[in-house]
Amino acid sequence: MKSVLGGAAALAAIATLGPSAFAADPRPLVTTQPDPQADVAPYFVSDADPRWSSPEWSAADIEALRKKVKYVFVLFNENRSFDHEYGTFPGADGLYSDGQKPRAPADTPGFTQTYLDTVTGRTVAVQPFLVGPHENASFKDSTDHSHKGLAAKMDVQDGVAKMDKFAEVEWRKFASFGEKGEKMGTQFARLAMAHMDCDTIPFFWRWASRFTLFDNNFATEDTPSTPNAVAILAGQGGETQWVKHPSPTEKPAGAGFTGTIGGAINGKTYSGAATTQGPPLLNDPQPWWGSAFDQTALGREPTAPGENWEPGNTASNLTFASLPLTMMGGWINLFTQWDRNPAFDLADVQKDIPAIAALGKPPVEWRWYQNGYDLEPTDAGLVVSHKAYVSHHNGAQYFGYVADNPVEQINLRGEGDFFADLAGGDLPAEGGVFYVRGGYYNLGYPKQTAVIQNPNYPDPKGLTPDELAKIAKVKSGDDDHPGYSDSQLTEAMNARVINAVASNPKLWEQSAIVITYDESDGLYDHVPPRILSWGPDGLPLARGIRIPLIVISPYARAHAVSHAEGDHNAIIETINALFGLPALSSLPDEKQALADGDSPAFNAVAPKGFEQKYLGPRDTPSPVTDGLLSGFDKARVTGALPPLPASLALIPSADVETFPHYGGKGCAAIGVVPENVRQNIPNAIPEGFNSLPATLPDYN
């Protein structure tokens, strides 16, 4: 896509990034993986083959792809760094290789992490190590992924992230709390450096090895989940709204709204005045809609019983542009007429609305399916419990022009609704964009719980019935968040979604599926993100740590790795290309805010000399953010090569529903040899390692 809209302006912009500017990536944009498996080999085209198609896309190429791909499915998982899941994936930039040749630990940023043990006075070193079925690697506890914690782990110096404080941040978080805290800190310092492979997540690795894996994609924001859940729709966590409304005193210290609250939420009654958080969003506040601020009488958004709905933990109403706004197309005036409070919900898109309307584009259908949002198969007696709902993960619920508009609210649905809609043929015939998210529990719970492969870990004598029951209760989610999910339950959920699409020939031949994540959970990754902006707290804001992304489609490259640099804006950029939508960053209100953000007041929160050119969406193709088109093969679009068959995406239902997947021998089953095995690198698990330091602290 760079060849369409890049050019001198984009290059000039990157040149002004100051100390955070990166040198050009010397790698080809796309390279192939080694040793294609028997099923993908007939479709594999080497980058040395004359049939290899250029990864650069012209306007005509994009138009041809647009005629093929009508449906985009985004499987949006939680909290994994790239190295944690794919650090030993052959052909990718990982822990031991740049994807083409081995790389020494000394040349890998942050590979050896150290911290000072204040009890013994010794310097402790921690390096990456592999965990697998023996360590019950499909579930673990969650590391520090707060905004402050992530910024400290990245350790930005002179505009460059050193990626070397993951272990130290975890140690310091607990070490001051006496002997138990020191033991806890030791285990969390190790946990942040642990990684897994295809024996634990064989389905994810299978799709990555048959289609295209992206190894240079990052979280949009250096924050926990909520800002990135918003960013997958808007390319930002509220920076343009911050620029427009920095604070009551018009200083860039962060926005917020003080208002009257009242009402009961999850059995608690609130009244009086309270202040919202952001924008920009830096933490995980609950959406305005459904909170104690929200006085909607009918059609009120749901709240989650497992979430913190204290008034001070509420986000401001989000009023900047997003895909749900641009997807209204030429009908935008009709759709926005249904807004219950347009003065409140549409104030910051007053110029965007006529600009979108003037383009005259047809509306694009979209839906956000999330576990627990409404009635789920796990609910008894047709009573909606929202038990599995994680409300701060629902990016769409934060926008007033969605959550306060009954015509738009119908796009928000439960995870079970996705399968019902596909089975009933209720997806729009003209196509659209469909997001799918898991939750606190999988749709088979309590029948299906966490996959305990080794009941003698971390206690060689065997876990007690109470401990086994606790793991089953707190690690049976299906969105991959380490705090409460199981990776095999998550990949099973992803497999059910992909099977539902790929088993329908007509749907498969018109589809592109993107598997990705919101952020890293604070798990180690060695690739420094480009620092594009700084937040009101003086910490780096964009980008965050590298996350996984896979493109699956009949028109994808087979057995390939794309090194295109991007974040959630890359997904938006690709959706824009496929559906002919205007870039969010090109809309009048967003464009003006982006220009206004590069001012003395906002530059003052960043290091001296830094220019805030990216306080907002960046979904216009440029060297800073490239889309996902490099993951598609133009030869398959034109018919010069056959489309990839659905069989490469399908996983037999018997395999999906049998745990552990492939009996814990996933690498052999899918035919992938991890890089550490290829190089014969020994694995050194720290003695006494406990992957559940908070859940089972007795084993620390």
The pLDDT of residue 13 is above 50: no
Sequence-distant (6+) residues with CB within 8 A of 129 are 190, 193, 194, 195, 683, 684, 685, 686
Whether the predicted pLDDT of 152 surpasses 90: yes
**Residue 485 near residue 475 (C-beta atoms within 8 A):** yes
Contact of 617 with 584, CB cutoff 8 Å: yes
- C-alpha–C-alpha distance, residues 213 and 201, integer Å: 15
User: How far is residue 48's CA from residue 450's CA, in Å, rounded to a whole number?
Assistant: 44
- Give mean pLDDT, residues 473-498: 98
Distance between CA atoms of 417 and 420, rounded to whole angstroms?
Answer: 5
Q: Give the distance, in angstroms, between the CA of residue 666 and the centroid of all CA atoms in the same chain.
A: 24
Quickly state the pLDDT bin for 98 (edges 50, 70, 90): very high
Query: Residue 510: its pLDDT value, please?
Result: 98
Alpha-carbon separation of residue 578 from 60, 65, 345, 358, 433 (angstroms): 12, 7, 28, 19, 10
Is residue 109's pLDDT more than 80? yes
> Is 80 exceeded by the pLDDT of residue 10?
no
Q: What is the mean pLDDT of residues 506-515?
A: 98
More confident residue, 3 or 160: 160
Percentage of residues of the chain with pLDDT beyond 90: 92
Mean pLDDT of 312-338: 98
Q: What is the pLDDT of residues 407-416, one digit of tens each?
A: 999 999 999 9
User: Given pLDDT bands bounded at 50, 70 and 90, which one contains residue 390?
Assistant: very high
Quote the tokens at residue 493.
């959920």
Mean pLDDT of 665-671: 98
Residue 19 above 60 pLDDT?
Answer: no
Token code pair at residue 561: 């790795």
Q: What is the pTM of this model?
A: 0.96
Flag the least confident range among 183-197, 235-249, 438-452, 497-511. Answer: 235-249
pLDDT of residue 254: 85
Distance CA 397, CA 401 (A): 9
Asked if 597 contacts 21 with a C-beta cutoff of 8 angstroms, the reply is: no
What is the mean pLDDT of the segment spanning 497-519? 98
- Average pLDDT on 432-450 reads 97
What is the average pLDDT score of the chain? Answer: 95
* Helix count and strand count (H, E) for the chain: 27, 19
Instruction: Report the distance separating Cα 138 and Cα 131, nearest Å.
Output: 9
- Residue 253: the pLDDT is 83
Does 561 score more than 80 pLDDT? yes
Average pLDDT (144-150) is: 98
113-116 vs 123-126, strand pairing mode: antiparallel
State the pLDDT at residue 568.
Answer: 98
Indicate if the pLDDT at residue 15 is higher than 60: no
Assign 47 to helix, strand or coil: coil
pLDDT at position 119 is: 82
Rounded mean pLDDT of 521-545?
97
Least confident of 142-146, 381-385, 528-532: 381-385
- Six token digits for residue 555: 């028109």
Residue 520's alpha-carbon distances to 222, 235, 486, in angstroms, are: 9, 17, 16
> What is the residue whose two structure tokens read 């920095």?
246
Q: What is the pLDDT of residue 25?
A: 76
Grade residue 566 by pLDDT with cuts at 50, 70 and 90: very high
Smallest Cα–Cα separation from 647: which of 210, 213, 212, 214? Answer: 210
Crossing angle, helix 588-597 and helix 352-359, to 10 degrees? 130
Q: What is the largest CA-CA distance in the chain?
A: 70
pLDDT digits (tens, 9 = 90+) for 339-355: 999 999 999 999 999 99
Mean pLDDT within 565-584 = 98
547 pLDDT higher than 80: yes
Residue 638 parent element (H or E) = helix 634-638
**Ramachandran angles phi, psi of 273, nearest 5°:** -115, 150
| DSSP letter, residue 662 | G
**Mean pLDDT value across residues 20-40:** 85
Under 8 Å between Cβ of 234 and 321: yes
The answer, yes or no, to whether residue 16 has pLDDT greater than 70, is no
Report residue 676 as tokens: 């550490």
Least confident among 256-265, 361-370, 427-436, 539-548:
256-265
Residue 23: band (very low, low, confident or very high) from pLDDT cuts 50, 70, 90: low
Type of residue numbered 202 = P
